[in-house]
Structure 1
């Protein structure tokens, strides 16, 4: 039986333009994006998982000289990315099964992975690991283990989360060293942020 998490792709597909309008262009994430970029080469490559409409985050990364590959399950959101940044690579795909056959200097999943179930989030660490080698990973999560169904424009909006201990364990098991973590960061609207580096095999 389909659960609330199964409606996320349909929601963002049907209402891409409304989401883009509501998202706005204010970059409250700048401090974290700068910390992420500081650990990438000046012309490094980035995989943006759940890239949305490409604004404001992808725009900020692109304007700082990085090459973007953006992935989102919503065709409407990817269409906006292609219109705004046609020189970069935008793909309609499910991040849970992603296997691009290449690695990137950085992978970011900002306010996207937390729309997956806790089980799917655990499995997503294998996706991170096969696309970052070596490189840096940054993602956001919930603050505690569980599932919550909120509302956006009158429709249910699902969020899932592991516990902080589970995220730490998943990072370590997937070959990442934690660089920084802030739970419920007031500077970014209450985001819980994880920044990690893939370990280099000895």
Structure 2
């Protein structure tokens, strides 16, 4: 939910003792408090478009409409809105009830669940799964566990799109003036975790200058 340039450029990496009160468990309460301000100020310039178009180009279409699961969907703008405008059947998931309420206001005809992505089991699969600026709020151990969850929700040949940091790190960013935790594993570990789940990396661009310097991964499940 927070742009990696904010994480990497605006704030220094902090020593572990300063991270004690800024933990992943503070993320959802922070977004509960700041949902309206975040939705109001979140960039709608759609710099993500190049990667969303790549996702749609690679994802299968296993049913009448291409189905996409948006994990950490926030208020639905601009990513879910862009996909819906392209006749994609979107399902949103967010752990902050205030964000889910805004998503329902912004996209009243789109299905959304108030659920934590950690350990999620919707008992269905999707042609693509997105975790854009959301997954990197999790602890490193929770990130490691998420790859099984990603794979579990992908149809054969389904595509995963997510953002991370460019290196193994823990940093503190901010949303609407409140501090928020971010973490990243190293690129080699992300690759290994995806390989374990049958995911083949299609594209990886650290600090992509075409995408507001986000570090972006796209992978495909074997099928």
What interval of TM-score do these two structures reach, taking the shorter chain for normalisation?
over 0.9
The alignment's TM-score, normalised by the length of structure 1, stands at 0.95
Shift of 1:151: 2.9
Whether 1:101 aligns to 2:123 is: yes
Whether 1:12 aligns to 2:31 is: yes
The alignment's TM-score, normalised by the length of structure 2, stands at 0.86
Residues 83-117 of structure 1: per-residue CA shift (max 9 Å, x gap): 12222210111000200000001100000000001
2:206: which partner in 1? 183
Segment of structure 1 superposing worse, 140-149 or 2-11: 2-11
1:21: which partner in 2? 40
Q: 2:51 aligns with which of 28, 32, 50?
A: 32
Q: 2:188 aligns with which of 142, 153, 165?
A: 165
Shift of 1:127: 0.6
In angstroms, what is the RMSD of aligned CA positions? 1.4
What does 1:17-96 align with in structure 2 at a 5 Å threshold?
17-40=36-59, 41=61, 43-96=65-118
- How many equivalent pairs are there? 200
1:174: which partner in 2? 197
Q: 1:110 aligns with which of 132, 143, 158?
A: 132
Q: 1:133 aligns with which of 155, 164, 167?
A: 155
Q: Give, in whole Å, the separation in 1 of the partners of 2:163 and 2:188.
A: 15
Preserved contact between residue 170 and residue 184 of structure 2 (Cα < 8 Å):
yes
Where in structure 1 are there 5+ consecutive unaligned residues? none
Shift of 1:5: 1.3
Preserved contact between residue 119 and residue 149 of structure 2 (Cα < 8 Å):
yes
Where in structure 2 are there 5+ consecutive unaligned residues? 1-19
Q: Which has the higher contact order (CA 8 A, sep 6+)?
A: 2
Q: Give, in whole Å, the separation in 2 of the partners of 1:75 and 1:150.
A: 22
Preserved contact between residue 126 and residue 153 of structure 2 (Cα < 8 Å):
yes
